[in-house]
């Protein structure tokens, strides 16, 4: 989960920021003239705007007007915009400004509990009923957000609203709210070189044939031999398992294959991968289905899947940091460094990007030994980690990318 940003303007807000950082597992963004934070910035308005455009949750220990003026030009779609909360420096008031139905109200209540302040919740449904239709619990998706307003109005007027939770496709309506729990996992397998369109088409057709909602799919899974398969890589949120791990589910397979066993070391990929990703109590609800060159199967967990099991596909980004100053660093380089789990590079280069460090693991190398750095970065990526190989200048021009 992305850490919330605790934004401060000066050193007087630092004690409260540190308290919230500890309680919320956040990170402190402070002016470059103030010490003690995690990330520094030069211009407050520009920094807030950039965070907001990146979808970052913002907790501003400042006047609400500062936050409003910084993000106002970038408001567009309340369904996708992140929570923005203003907190008084003395913690007396906590005001959700945006994203009340996307976690801001809940986060404001957490802040109030930590600080002893007052969460100024203004959302009508939350004030009266303690919850809102478009703020489902973690592990659920609201299927018909277009009906949220009418359903809320009906409830506020004292009328009845039907609430349904199902993995199956359900239409919903003005007084019928549908939630899809994230309980399904889809195991996939394919021949080498299968097109992404064939795999995605098989998945879509299988879901449709069984009346299952894509919004209940927590993720996809396959055997680790397919980590470099473009058709599998094109799917979102994929996890991988070794043949040995998949073999543990052999007794549960409905369509085991001696041929598959001989080829990859396990009697089934799609069914076993679906079960492995969904957890030990999962059941197979759709047995292996086939297209010409691909297979898929669907498993269901008895509870929503909050963290998908299995190994992620590793990613290696070669990141050039330019002349070294944060002011001249490209936005793409900044984003790559922030979104990785491991940094590999010459120690001085890692020092130059220390302002972006959160909980990334550093792998420091002395000057020289470029090939050793590259090999180490590749090995980390093969373990499923998100790796940044940090270089000076332009990575392509200065040869690290060529290695």
The model's pLDDT over 364-375, given as tens digits with 9 standing for 90+, comes to 999 888 899 999
Asked if residue 269 is part of any domain, the answer here is: yes
Shared domain for 327 and 242, answered yes or no, is no
Check residue 2 and give its pLDDT: 67
Shared domain for 244 and 326, answered yes or no, is no
Domain boundary among 122, 151, 166: 122
Contact, 311 vs 384, CB < 8 A? Answer: yes
Shared domain for 173 and 188, answered yes or no, is no
What's the Cα-to-Cα distance from 63 to each of 34, 85, 87, 109, rounded to whole Å? 19, 10, 8, 19
The model's pLDDT over 351-391, given as tens digits with 9 standing for 90+, comes to 999 878 878 999 999 988 889 999 999 999 988 899 999 99
Alpha helices in 210-250 (DSSP H): 230-233, 243-247
d(CA 259, CA 247): 14
Number of H helices, E strands in the chain: 14, 19
Check residue 258 and give its pLDDT: 93
0.85 surpassed by pTM: no
The model's pLDDT over 149-163, given as tens digits with 9 standing for 90+, comes to 898 788 888 888 898
Shared domain for 294 and 198, answered yes or no, is yes
Based on the structure, what is the number of domains in the chain?
4
Shared domain for 96 and 110, answered yes or no, is yes
Check residue 323 and give its pLDDT: 85
Shared domain for 95 and 175, answered yes or no, is no
d(CA 83, CA 102): 6
295: CB partners within 8 A, 6+ apart:
188, 189, 190, 202, 269, 270, 288, 289
The model's pLDDT over 128-178, given as tens digits with 9 standing for 90+, comes to 555 667 678 889 999 998 888 898 788 888 888 898 999 999 999 999 999
274: CB partners within 8 A, 6+ apart:
185, 186, 187, 221, 282, 284, 297, 298, 299
Shared domain for 248 and 289, answered yes or no, is yes
Shared domain for 197 and 286, answered yes or no, is yes
Q: Which helix (H) or strand (E) holds 215?
A: none
Query: By residue range, what is the domain housing residue 227?
Result: 184-300
Contact, 370 vs 392, CB < 8 A? Answer: no
Computed over its alpha carbons, how large is the radius of gyration of the chain? Answer: 24
CATH number for the domain including 338? 3.40.1010.10
Shared domain for 378 and 328, answered yes or no, is yes
CATH number for the domain including 99? 3.40.50.11220
Check residue 74 and give its pLDDT: 92
DSSP string, 121-133: ---HHHHHHS--T
Shared domain for 193 and 168, answered yes or no, is no
């Amino acid at each position: 989960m992305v850490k919330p940003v605790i934004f401060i303007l000066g050193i007087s807000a630092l004690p409260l920021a540190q308290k919230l950082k500890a309680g919320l597992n956040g990170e402190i963004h402070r002016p470059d003239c103030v010490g003690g934070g995690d990330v520094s910035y030069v211009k407050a308005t520009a920094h807030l705007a950039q965070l907001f455009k990146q979808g970052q949750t913002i907790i501003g220990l400042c006047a609400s007007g500062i936050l409003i003026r910084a993000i106002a030009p970038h408001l567009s779609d309340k369904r996708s915009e992140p929570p923005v909360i203003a907190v008084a420096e003395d913690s007396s008031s906590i005001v959700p400004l945006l994203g009340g139905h996307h976690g801001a109200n809940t986060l404001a209540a957490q802040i109030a509990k930590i600080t002893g302040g007052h969460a100024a919740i203004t959302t009508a449904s939350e004030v009266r009923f303690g919850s809102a239709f478009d703020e489902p619990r973690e592990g659920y998706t609201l299927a018909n957000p277009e009906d949220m307003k009418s359903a809320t109005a009906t409830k506020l007027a004292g009328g009845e609203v039907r609430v349904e939770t199902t993995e199956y496709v359900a239409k919903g309506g003005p007084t019928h709210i549908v939630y899809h729990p994230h309980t399904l996992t889809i195991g996939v397998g394919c021949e080498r070189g299968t097109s992404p369109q064939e795999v995605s088409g098989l998945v879509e057709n299988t879901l449709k044939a069984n009346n299952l909602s894509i919004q209940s799919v927590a993720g996809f899974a396959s055997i680790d031999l397919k980590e470099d398969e473009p058709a599998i890589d094109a799917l979102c949120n994929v996890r991988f398992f070794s043949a040995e791990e998949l073999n543990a589910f052999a007794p549960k397979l409905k369509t085991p294959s001696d041929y598959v066993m001989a080829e990859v070391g396990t009697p089934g990929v799609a069914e076993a991968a679906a079960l492995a990703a969904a957890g030990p109590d999962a059941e197979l609800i759709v047995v292996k289905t086939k297209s010409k060159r691909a297979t898929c199967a669907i498993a269901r967990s008895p509870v929503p899947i909050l963290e998908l099991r299995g190994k992620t596909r590793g990613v290696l980004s070669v990141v050039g940091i330019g002349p070294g100053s944060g002011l001249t660093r490209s936005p793409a380089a900044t984003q790559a460094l922030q979104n990785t789990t491991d940094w590999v590079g010459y120690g001085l280069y890692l020092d130059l990007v220390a302002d972006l460090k959160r909980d990334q693991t550093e792998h420091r190398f002395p000057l020289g030994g470029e090939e050793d750095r590259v090999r180490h970065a590749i090995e980390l990526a093969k373990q499923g980690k998100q790796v940044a190989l940090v270089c000076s200048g332009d990575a392509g021009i200065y040869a690290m990318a060529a290695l």
